[in-house]
Amino acid sequence: MLTFYHNPQCKKSRAGLEYLRNKGVLFSIVEYIKNPFTEKELTKLLVKLNKKPAEVLRTQEAYFRQHIKGKSFNDHELLRIICENPKLLRRPIIEKEYSAVIGDPVENIDQIIK
The enclosing H or E element of 84 equals helix 75-84
Indicate the Cα dihedral angle 55, 6, 49, 80, nearest 10°. Answer: 50
**How many domains, the chain?**
1
**Does residue 23 sit in helix, strand or coil?**
coil
Give the range of the structural domain holding residue 39, as residue numbers without chain letter. 2-113
How high is the pLDDT of residue 68?
A: 97
User: Block means of pLDDT (10 residues each) for the chain, length 114 residues?
Assistant: 96 97 96 96 98 97 96 97 97 97 97 91
CATH of the domain at 106: 3.40.30.10
How high is the pLDDT of residue 114?
A: 81
Q: What is the pTM of this model?
A: 0.94
